[in-house]
């Protein structure tokens, strides 16, 4: 079936089976490789994007369900990697292998859009759908708090990437 | 754009400078088998390692595969430090597989740091010395009067940029890398500072980096359906039904000797290939492994435990006599399950076979071996393989094995154009080379002074004859051998049809749970504090027995772990601290876990303190902490809820709903400390993991008095009253 939707501000149209998951439409039809395949059953969150601003797993999300909707992927979160979450992730040096991090960042940015200054408990709740096999959780937590500071302007990037995160 | 090199090709020229037309220079270098020097005798080596561009940007080649361990950042840091260039000017270029110019292009065994720490520095230092010599020649002054800073050579206040020295340096002999002076560590500007990962920006903006992101013109996508029973083979398949599916381009059986057995489906998009698997209706010849199961292994182990070990591994002192004369004895049976690696990026490989040559884009921890295996499987010479290294979405040992690369090669040989093979998560979980489970039957004794006097172990594992299955072995001199006067260890083996392999901190990740739990049992039997009991043990020597573990070095990290955790403080009932230590991969680690068990059995890990000794220098503290926290939480995930079981010769678990990875709400704070010692710097990918499971189960004992002797914890009711 033909499906029209918006991806990162641009309109897109694909002609694929109605049950084809959005993940594979993004990766293989639209060549947006930032959204990752991890499990295919909504367990790991590597495929998280925003659908009309809400974080959703795309590996089980049929393309027919996103007709007319606005999709934001990691490639479209900011024009130049300047979203506070993207900045904080680099400053804190969150990634190890990095494979899950696009999904983590999409989940964290959706959490912050709804809860601008989350407590640790709210972070647990908002992020527990996303697994990090390298277990960078201590840093994800720290980076989310740092994103809040960046967003509020109280953190001035001074080239001190990773400051305070070492020993 | 290269000008003709003018440096003489003397034996010492392991490093050669070539001026770039238009300014800048290339430092071509090559490491020999001793890690230091090999003659650069061809232009092939010219691009190895360092290129200084006219605008003073310095391109440094990262030669090793990146699996998340941080090596793509760390190895270039070592070169840049000694070359004396600002890190801000450095750009990293990932090398492909190139056995002629690079040495040790693999990721495993926490080996990159001990292997490369000095050679990479020496390469940078030799480059710097050559540029200083060039500047000395230009100015007609003695090289000893010159200094370097910020990518320039300085003579007082006069300076010349490295990029301007190419032509002069090209005419000079390279210094001997074995004697070239290295920086005094107090002068380090890059080593020992927090350097974020070089791919971070690409990662946070979602740029294609990983093997699975490979995209080639005219590429097809593939899946490969194998028999769920290990070693099973295809009898028949409905290929026509698969071929009739949406956008499927081809489907065929691979059943050639020496190749993986199964059915390949090719399609214009991966989901189409995956979707067509259901149409295959394959009939399998399951073979003999179908008889094997986890329940069967447990029953066999129990039987074997009643007999004498099939094989004596170690025997020192008089164990029977010491047990008979002990003030207290403890007897216990421990076991741990098989585990999957489950890296988050499923196995994949892109392959293009054309004109007798094979090109691979492969997320492999052992690319050299993988290229050979792929070549052998399709009957071409290894030299006919070109391999591009991609960033990997986790390794953990899974990508030491190149089954996915061999499959991709075999499929590509039968296809037109490039093919990307991607495993589903279910493929990944069902066709792993698993961390083997194991069974340990132990007796131990403490004497009247409360000191550990006897230890007897019977390890029931997997293998045949004298050979243990991969990673199912145990070092005959595993701790506490050589620390206990009367010590014996024997082994028995069960045949295994399930493939096994190395998982992060192989053997140690399992053995540590057994050894450090049983030590805890003996400490409690002796009425001693478990930490103090361990310190005493580490200070014991046994005449005539060489200690593999440096007791005093371990004692130091254990003491520190006690200090930073506040060991010994009063805690409410239901909350307890446990400790454990383990030596592996040259690293010394002691850890303390604080855990709280609610009366209904609900377990919360409150905090984990980690103290490690990996030598005199932490190269990149920012990454060192991240690696250590990750390894610790990996160990926690294993202990909490990870288990692979078999029934009818097939893996029961299939995805993350029944093989559970740790989640944010389960991850405690992990506080990391390093103790510096006068030892060569060593790796951090693995050694922090093994102490975690026993430190946790020891904490549960401290909290509730319940001794956990098998993993994972999810199989136990921890409730108390």
Please indicate whether, in this complex, the C-beta atoms of A40 and B425 are within 8 angstroms of each other: yes
Rounded Cα distance between B15 and B130, Å, is 9
Which of A20, A77, A99 has its CB closest to that of B210? A99
Report the candidate in B101, B106, B168, B178 with the shortest Cα–Cα distance to residue B140. B168
Please indicate whether, in this complex, the C-beta atoms of A167 and B674 are within 8 angstroms of each other: yes
Using alpha carbons only, what angle is made at residue B347 by residues B345 and B351, rounded to the nearest 5 degrees? 120
Rounded Cα distance between B106 and B389, Å, is 10
Q: Which residue of A has its CA nearest to B193?
A: A166
Backbone angles phi, psi at B16, to 5 degrees: -135, 135
Any chain B CB within 8 A of the CB of A44?
yes
Whether the per-residue pLDDT at A41 is higher than 70: the answer is yes
Whether the per-residue pLDDT at B10 is higher than 80: the answer is no
The 10s digit of each residue's pLDDT in B355-378 is: 999 999 999 999 999 999 999 999
Q: How confident is the model at residue B701, as a pLDDT?
A: 98
Distance, C-alpha B275 to centroid of its chain: 34
The 10s digit of each residue's pLDDT in B433-464 is: 999 999 999 999 999 999 999 999 999 999 99
Any chain B CB within 8 A of the CB of A127?
yes
User: What is the number of other CB atoms lying within 10 angstroms of the CB of residue B559?
Assistant: 17
Please indicate whether, in this complex, the C-beta atoms of B345 and A36 are within 8 angstroms of each other: yes
Contacts of B195 (CB under 8 A, 6+ apart): A162, B73, B77, B87, B620, B622, B623
* Disruptive mutation site among B341, B344, B608, B671 for chain A (greatest number of A CBs within 10 Å): B344
Chain A hits for B203, Cβ within 8 Å: 89, 95, 98, 101-102
Rounded Cα distance between B669 and B661, Å, is 17
Please indicate whether, in this complex, the C-beta atoms of A93 and B669 are within 8 angstroms of each other: no
Extract the tokens encoding B538. 């580490």
**Span B492-496, average pLDDT:** 98
Residues B471-495 as b or e (16 or more Cβ within 10 Å = b): bbbbeebbbbbbbbbbbbbbbbbbe
The 10s digit of each residue's pLDDT in B105-129 is: 888 888 888 888 988 898 899 889 9
Q: How confident is the model at residue B102, as a pLDDT?
A: 78
Any chain B CB within 8 A of the CB of A60?
no
3-state secondary structure at position B172: coil
Band of residue B97 on the pLDDT scale cut at 50, 70, 90 = confident
pTM, whole model, 2 decimals? 0.95
Q: Which residue of B has its CA nearest to A142?
A: B669
Distance, C-alpha B665 to centroid of its chain: 26
Q: How confident is the model at residue B12, as a pLDDT?
A: 44
Please indicate whether, in this complex, the C-beta atoms of A134 and B630 are within 8 angstroms of each other: yes
Task: Give start and end residues of each alpha helix (H) in A2-161.
Answer: 22-24, 84-91, 101-114, 120-127, 137-151
The 10s digit of each residue's pLDDT in B143-168 is: 999 999 999 999 999 999 999 998 89
* Disruptive mutation site among B626, B629, B635, B637 for chain A (greatest number of A CBs within 10 Å): B626
Whether the per-residue pLDDT at B393 is higher than 70: the answer is yes
Please indicate whether, in this complex, the C-beta atoms of A128 and B674 are within 8 angstroms of each other: no
Band of residue B30 on the pLDDT scale cut at 50, 70, 90 = low
Chain A hits for B613, Cβ within 8 Å: none
Answer for the pair A91, A139: CB distance below 8 angstroms, yes or no: no
Contacts of A119 (CB under 8 A, 6+ apart): none
Q: Which residue of A has its CA nearest to B346?
A: A38
Eight-class DSSP state of B436: P
Q: Describe the crossing of helices A137-151 and B621-641 by its angle, rounded to 10 degrees.
A: 120
Quote the ipTM score. Answer: 0.94
Extract the tokens encoding B172. 């000079």
Band of residue A69 on the pLDDT scale cut at 50, 70, 90 = very high
3-state secondary structure at position B549: coil
Whether the per-residue pLDDT at B103 is higher than 80: the answer is no
CA-based nearest distance B180→chain A, Å: 31
Enumerate the β-bridge partners of residue B331: B443
Rg (CA), chain A: 16
The 10s digit of each residue's pLDDT in B163-195 is: 999 889 888 887 877 788 999 999 999 999 999
Enumerate the β-bridge partners of residue B609: B592, B671
Rounded Cα distance between B251 and B242, Å, is 7
Any chain A CB within 8 A of the CB of B604?
no
Answer for the pair B645, B652: CB distance below 8 angstroms, yes or no: yes
The 10s digit of each residue's pLDDT in B556-599 is: 999 999 999 999 999 999 999 999 999 999 999 999 999 999 99
Question: Residue B181 burial (CB < 10 Å; 0-12/13-18/19+)?
Answer: exposed
Which of B346, B424, B626 has its CB closest to that of A96? B626
CA-based nearest distance A43→chain B, Å: 6
Which of B194, B395, B665 has its CB closest to that of A162? B194
Answer for the pair B93, B199: CB distance below 8 angstroms, yes or no: no
**Span B18-31, average pLDDT:** 77
Note which residues in 272-301 of chain B have CB less than 8 A from chain A.
Answer: none
Band of residue B13 on the pLDDT scale cut at 50, 70, 90 = low
Chain A hits for B673, Cβ within 8 Å: 167
Any chain B CB within 8 A of the CB of A36?
yes
Any chain A CB within 8 A of the CB of B669?
yes
Q: Which residue of A has its CA nearest to B213?
A: A33
Whether the per-residue pLDDT at B11 is higher than 70: the answer is no
Which of B392, B670, B674 has its CB closest to that of A97? B392
Which of B208, B271, B342 has its CB closest to that of A33? B208
Rounded Cα distance between A73 and A27, Å, is 11
Rounded Cα distance between B511 and B445, Å, is 19
Please indicate whether, in this complex, the C-beta atoms of A162 and B206 are within 8 angstroms of each other: no
Eight-class DSSP state of B229: S
Q: How confident is the model at residue B95, as a pLDDT?
A: 83
Chain B hits for A77, Cβ within 8 Å: 205-206
Contacts of B61 (CB under 8 A, 6+ apart): B47, B48, B49, B50, B76, B92, B93, B94, B95
Q: How confident is the model at residue B405, as a pLDDT?
A: 98
Q: How confident is the model at residue B491, as a pLDDT?
A: 98
Of how many residues is chain A composed? Answer: 167
| Mean pLDDT, chain B, whole residue set | 93
Please indicate whether, in this complex, the C-beta atoms of A95 and B68 are within 8 angstroms of each other: yes
Residues B33-49 as b or e (16 or more Cβ within 10 Å = b): eebbbbebeeeebbbbb
Eight-class DSSP state of B471: T
Please indicate whether, in this complex, the C-beta atoms of A93 and B271 are within 8 angstroms of each other: no
Rounded Cα distance between B247 and B217, Å, is 17
Answer for the pair B467, B474: CB distance below 8 angstroms, yes or no: no
Tell me, letter by letter, the H, E, C secondary structure of B285-337: ECCHHHHCCHHHHHHHHHHHHCCCCCEEEEEECCHHHHHHCCCEEEEEEEEEC
Please indicate whether, in this complex, the C-beta atoms of B204 and A31 are within 8 angstroms of each other: no
Does an H or E element contain B387, and which? strand B385-389
Q: B8 in the Ramachandran plot: left (φ > 0), alpha (ψ -120 to 50) or beta?
A: beta
Report the candidate in B397, B385, B374 with the shortest Cα–Cα distance to residue B107. B397
């Amino acid at each position: 079936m033909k499906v029209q939707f918006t991806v990162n501000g641009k309109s897109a149209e694909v002609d694929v089976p109605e049950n084809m998951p959005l993940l594979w439409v993004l990766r293989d039809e639209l060549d947006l490789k930032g959204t990752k395949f991890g499990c295919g059953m909504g367990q790991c969150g590597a495929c998280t994007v925003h659908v009309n601003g809400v974080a959703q797993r795309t590996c089980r999300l049929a393309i027919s369900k996103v007709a007319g909707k606005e999709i934001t992927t990691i490639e479209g979160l900011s024009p130049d990697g300047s979203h506070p979450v993207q900045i904080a992730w680099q400053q804190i040096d969150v990634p190890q292998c990095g494979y899950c991090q696009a999904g983590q960042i999409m989940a964290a940015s959706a959490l912050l859009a709804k809860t601008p200054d989350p407590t640790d408990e709210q972070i647990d709740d908002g992020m527990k759908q996303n697994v990090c096999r390298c277990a960078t959780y201590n840093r994800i937590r720290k980076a989310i708090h740092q994103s809040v500071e960046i967003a509020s302007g109280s953190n001035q990037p001074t080239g001190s990437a990773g400051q305070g995160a070492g020993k | 754009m290269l000008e003709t090199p003018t440096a003489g090709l003397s034996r010492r020229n392991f490093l050669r400078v070539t001026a770039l037309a238009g300014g800048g220079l290339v430092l071509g270098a090559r490491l020999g088998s001793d890690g230091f020097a090999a003659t650069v005798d061809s232009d092939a080596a010219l691009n190895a390692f360092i290129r200084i561009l006219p605008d003073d940007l310095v391109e440094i080649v990262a030669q090793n595969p990146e699996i998340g361990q941080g090596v793509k950042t760390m190895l270039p840091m070592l070169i840049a430090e000694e070359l004396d260039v600002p890190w801000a000017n450095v750009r990293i270029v990932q090398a492909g597989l190139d056995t002629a110019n690079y040495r040790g292009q693999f990721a495993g065994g926490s080996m990159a740091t001990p292997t490369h720490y000095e050679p990479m520095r020496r390469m940078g230092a030799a480059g710097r010395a050559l540029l200083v010599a060039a500047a000395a020649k230009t100015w007609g002054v003695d090289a000893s009067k010159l200094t370097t800073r910020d990518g320039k050579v300085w003579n007082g206040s006069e300076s010349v940029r490295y990029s301007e020295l190419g032509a002069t340096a090209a005419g000079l002999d390279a210094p001997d890398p074995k004697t070239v002076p290295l920086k005094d560590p107090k002068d380090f500007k890059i080593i020992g500072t927090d350097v974020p990962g070089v791919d971070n920006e690409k990662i946070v903006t979602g740029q294609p980096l990983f093997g699975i992101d490979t995209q080639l013109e005219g590429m097809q996508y593939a899946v490969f359906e194998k028999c769920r029973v290990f070693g099973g083979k295809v009898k028949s398949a409905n290929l026509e039904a698969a071929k009739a599916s949406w956008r499927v381009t081809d489907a065929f059986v691979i059943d050639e000797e020496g190749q993986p057995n199964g059915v390949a489906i090719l399609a214009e998009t991966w989901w189409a290939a995956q979707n067509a698997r259901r149409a295959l209706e394959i009939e399998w010849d399951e073979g003999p492994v179908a008889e094997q199961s986890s329940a069967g292994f447990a029953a066999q182990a129990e039987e074997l435990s009643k007999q004498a070990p099939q094989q004596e591994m170690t025997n020192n002192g008089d164990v029977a006599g010491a047990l008979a004369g002990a003030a207290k004895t403890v007897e216990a049976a421990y076991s741990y399950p098989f585990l999957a690696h489950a890296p988050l990026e499923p196995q994949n490989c892109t392959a293009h076979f054309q004109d007798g040559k094979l090109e691979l884009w492969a997320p492999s921890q052992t690319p050299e071996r993988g290229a050979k295996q792929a070549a052998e499987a399709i009957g071409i010479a290894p030299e006919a393989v070109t391999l591009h290294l991609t960033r990997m979405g986790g390794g953990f040992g899974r990508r030491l094995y190149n089954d996915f690369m061999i499959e991709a090669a075999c499929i590509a040989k039968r296809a037109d154009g490039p093919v990307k093979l991607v495993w589903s998560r279910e493929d990944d979980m069902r066709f792993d080379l698993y961390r083997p489970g194991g069974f340990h039957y132990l007796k131990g004794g403490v004497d009247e002074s409360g000191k550990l006097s006897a230890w007897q172990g019977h390890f029931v594992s997997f293998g045949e004859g004298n050979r243990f299955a991969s990673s199912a072995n145990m070092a005959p001199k595993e701790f506490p051998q050589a620390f206990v006067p009367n010590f014996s260890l024997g082994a028995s083996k069960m045949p295994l049809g399930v493939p096994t392999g190395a998982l992060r901190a192989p053997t140690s990740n399992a053995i540590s749970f057994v050894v450090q739990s049983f030590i805890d049992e003996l400490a409690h039997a002796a009425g001693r504090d478990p930490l103090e009991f361990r310190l005493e043990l580490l200070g014991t020597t046994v005449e005539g027995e060489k200690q593999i573990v440096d007791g005093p070095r371990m004692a130091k990290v254990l003491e520190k772990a006690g200090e930073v955790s506040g060991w010994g403080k009063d805690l409410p009932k239901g909350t307890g601290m446990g400790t454990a230590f383990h030596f592996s991969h040259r690293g010394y680690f002691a850890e303390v876990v604080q855990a709280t068990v609610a009366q209904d059995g609900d377990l919360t890990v409150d905090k984990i303190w980690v103290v490690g000794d990996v030598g005199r220098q932490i190269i990149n503290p920012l990454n060192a902490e991240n690696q250590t926290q990750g390894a610790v939480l990996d160990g926690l995930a294993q202990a909490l809820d990870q288990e692979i079981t078999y029934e009818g010769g097939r893996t029961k678990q299939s995805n993350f709903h029944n093989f559970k990875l740790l989640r944010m709400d389960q991850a405690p704070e992990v506080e990391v400390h390093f103790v510096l010692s006068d030892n060569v710097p060593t790796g951090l990918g693995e050694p922090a993991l093994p102490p975690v499971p026993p430190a946790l189960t020891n904490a549960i004992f401290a909290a509730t008095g319940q001794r956990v002797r098998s993993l994972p914890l999810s199989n136990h009711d921890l409730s108390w009253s």
